[in-house]
Amino acid sequence: MKTILLPTVLLFLTVAAQAQPAMNGQPQPAFQQRLQTIVAAPGAPPATVATREPANYLIRVEWKEPKGDLKFLEVLSTDGNFNLDTIQKTLVKINNYDIPVTLKFNGTLSTRSDEKGRLQLFLGRTVPYVTGSYNGMGASASYSQLSVGLSSTFIVTFGKPLVVQNDENGEISALVKRVKD
């Protein structure tokens, strides 16, 4: 046990001593600067790291419902998460009651370059359905809602629409555009 403990303590002290700041009164250079200095040729100035300016992106999904008009949702976001919950205009009637259908559009945008990004998204809705009925003093029904939708991850080219789902009910496309200041 003592033979393992002594090397462990010595290793810890060595690492701790290396982590201490220099005692010459000058601050230690940041890790990135030290890395660039190591990589740069001797006597050459350190290389600069290119950084992208933060930007806003308009994320639009379009779909056509069977026997319906073109529908779309748009959100403005930057790199990171976005989330939109809203109610669809079309209502479902169950026993003369109008039941709303909710829409959900969320995901994550990660820019890869000035031209491309990675988009993970979920586009879905709640669909009400009858779970039971009662014919006592008047007809009534109980209902529940089922969440359905598309969840996918893909690479987008900014400004160019991309079909992400297509079947006999229509297609869903996504468009991500960088918003100019």
SS3 readout for 39-102 = HCCCCCCCCCCCCCCCCEEEEEEEEECCCCCEEEEEEEECCEEEEEEEEEEEEEEECCEEEEEE
Q: Is there a single domain that holds both residue 88 and residue 147?
A: yes
**What's the CA gap between 97 and 88, in Å, rounded?**
16
In a domain, 48, yes or no: no
Stretch 11-18: mean pLDDT:
49
Residue of 176, 171, 181, 142 whose CA lies nearest to 64: 171
Q: What is the CA radius of gyration of the chain?
A: 29
Parallel, antiparallel, or unpaired: how do β-strands 80-94 and 97-111 relate?
antiparallel
Higher pLDDT, 41 or 159: 159
In a domain, 50, yes or no: no
Q: Is there a single domain that holds both residue 100 and residue 135?
A: yes
- Spacing of C-alpha 84 from chain mean position: 12
Q: Is there a single domain that holds both residue 26 and residue 96?
A: no
Confidence class for position 14, pLDDT limits 50, 70, 90: low
Backbone angles phi, psi at 46, to 5 degrees: -60, 145
User: pLDDT tens across 108-149, in order?
Assistant: 999 999 999 999 999 998 888 878 777 777 667 777 888 888
The first and second tokens of residue 72, run together, are 């779309």
Q: Is there a single domain that holds both residue 91 and residue 117?
A: yes
Q: Is there a single domain that holds both residue 9 and residue 98?
A: no
Q: Is there a single domain that holds both residue 32 and residue 76?
A: no
Most distant CA pair in the chain: distance in Å?
Answer: 93
Boundaries of domain holding 24? 2-39
User: pLDDT tens across 43-76, in order?
Assistant: 655 554 456 788 999 999 998 877 777 889 999 9
Stretch 84-111: mean pLDDT:
85
Per-residue CA distances from 172 to 84, 91, 109, 138, 139 (Å): 17, 21, 18, 42, 38
Any idea what DSSP says for residue 29? P
In a domain, 161, yes or no: yes
Lowest mean pLDDT among 2-6, 101-105, 146-150, 163-167: 2-6
Q: Is there a single domain that holds both residue 155 and residue 70?
A: yes
Stretch 20-41: mean pLDDT:
48
pLDDT of residue 158: 95
pLDDT of residue 38: 45
Q: Is there a single domain that holds both residue 60 and residue 122?
A: yes
Instruction: Report the number of distinct structural domains present in the chain.
Output: 2
Stretch 10-19: mean pLDDT:
49
Q: Is there a single domain that holds both residue 121 and residue 154?
A: yes
Confidence class for position 37, pLDDT limits 50, 70, 90: very low
Percent of the chain with pLDDT over 70: 69
In a domain, 15, yes or no: yes
